[in-house]
Amino acid sequence: MSFTKFPNGDYHQETTLLQEGENLVCDMDIGWQLFRDNQYKIDNGRGLSVNKHCLGALRCEEYKTTFRPASNEHATESKAIGGCKTKKCWSPNALTIIGCSVMVNIKLLQGKGFLKHTGTHTHDQFEPLHCTIKGLQALVPHIQEFIGKTPKGLQVRTSAVRLQHPPRPVCELDQNLQHLGKVGYARRVIFKNHGIRISKKTGASVEGLLDNLKTLEESYPGYF
């Protein structure tokens, strides 16, 4: 269903694709910022092979932090020139671009996904771009249990006096759900995909909440 996040060194992994209706879905995000070089059909069109290379990272020398680069080399150069936008730093000095030669190949064939990661990254990890499919699926019962809760409410830790099931906060489901903006976005995606309607007078409709997540990969780039 998904590959290990932030693999390093020469690494191989096999995973079973997730069945969503008539479609097979695989989370192709492995944490690092990758650029797709090419893709082509294999096994007489029954499979797909995708080749990617790592875009490296950006580093603020004053804040001593590694950041995710942009989606391609040119955009990364522009982002570096703009300086550090971290609130604790806000340095006008250009960020350092850390190059990387890691190559990644992902094959999707006969209901399985095959990851081949070649090389060692020359930079530290950075914050994942979006939630995993597993994390988003785990969020569905939370939305059902706390249908009227705001994103901030979903982040509040479960009370020791009044235990709740499923427990909160939702950041325990996925690292990316520690940010209010991403919790709100994931919540809206689930509402939309499951036909949940928000009304100030009547609240949210839970009709279709537990239907399968057929369009989830369309809302999150990098999912197949």
**Range from 48-57, 74-83, 92-101, 183-192 that averages highest in pLDDT:** 48-57
**pLDDT tops 90 at residue 118:** yes
What phi and psi values does residue 223 have, to the nearest 5 degrees? -95, 145
Mean pLDDT over all residues of the chain? 78
Query: 58: closest CA among 87, 29, 100?
Result: 100
Count the residues in the chain.
Answer: 224
With respect to residue 6, please indicate whether it lies within any of the assigned structural domains: no
The answer, yes or no, to whether residue 211 has pLDDT greater than 80, is no
Cα 137 to Cα 6, 22, 91, 179, 184: the distances in Å are 21, 18, 39, 18, 15
Question: Does one domain contain both 31 and 114?
Answer: yes
- 4 within a domain of the structure (yes/no): no
Q: Examine the pLDDT at 37 and tell me if it is beyond 50.
A: yes
Residues 108 and 48 in one domain: yes
Asked if the model's pLDDT at residue 205 lies above 60, the reply is no
How many domains are contained in the chain? 3
SS3 content of the chain, % helix, strand, coil (to 5): 25, 25, 50
Q: Residue 153 belongs to what domain range?
A: 133-219
The pLDDT tens digits for 126-166 are: 877 766 666 777 777 777 777 777 777 777 665 544 555 55
In a domain, 127, yes or no: no
What DSSP line would sit under 127-153, residue for residue?
Answer: --SS--HHHHHHHHHHHHHTTT--HHH
User: What's the mean pLDDT in 108-135?
Assistant: 86
Same domain, 36 and 50: yes
